[in-house]
Amino acid sequence: MPAAPAIAVREAGAADAGLLSLVAGATFLEWFGDSIPGPDILAHCSNVLSPAAFRDALAKPRTRAWLAEIADTGAPVGYALICDPDLPMAIEPGDLELKRIYLLSRRHGSGAARAMMDCAIDAARAAGAPRLLIGVYDENWRAHAFYEKCGFAVVGEREFTVGSATYHDLIFARSLGY
């Protein structure tokens, strides 16, 4: 069996909006294709995960993104994005939200998810954020375990709408301690 290809994580900028959109759509379809109707997935990816949406997000001063790529080819296999929080809870001054962190399932176990998480935590600390927050689908047990392993704990809940359906998310937080 051939060795798995090396994965590199790097910061992404507005010029990477197409790559971010591609991997965002692929991971969204992979993770939610069993539970969200196809037309709703298409609308979500076309609007929320479009290259233009990533360019707009990255134009904001506290938004940063990272790409996990196959080292030899530059093919995107995962991404993470932090930004100002948009969550229905008390937000502390300076908090940041890990809005998205996704990795294609074939790359689980590669260390890429942890590397992206470390980039997000380091960037949030450097920005002076007291906490890093993330909303995650309540049935995504694998993600729950990963976030808990990374020092996050549940602090709230929210409803998340995609198309005509509403889903229940848990909100996790990690203190960045100073």
CATH homologous superfamily for 7-175? Gcn5-related N-acetyltransferase (GNAT) (3.40.630.30)
- pLDDT tier for residue 164 given thresholds of 50, 70 and 90: confident
Per residue in 69-91, pLDDT tens?
A: 999 999 999 999 999 999 988 99
CB 68 within 8 A of CB 115: yes
Following DSSP, what letter does each residue of 76-127 receive, concatenated? EEEEEEEES---SSPPPTT-EEEEEEEE-GGGTTSSHHHHHHHHHHHHHHHT
What pLDDT is stored for residue 160 in this prediction? 86
Per residue in 28-65, pLDDT tens?
A: 999 888 888 999 999 999 999 999 999 999 999 999 99
Distance of CA 2 to the CA centre of its chain: 29
Quote the pTM value.
Answer: 0.94
- DSSP annotation of 132 reads E
Helix (H, G, I), strand (E, B) or coil at 11: strand
| 8-22, 25-39, 51-65, 113-127: least confident range | 25-39
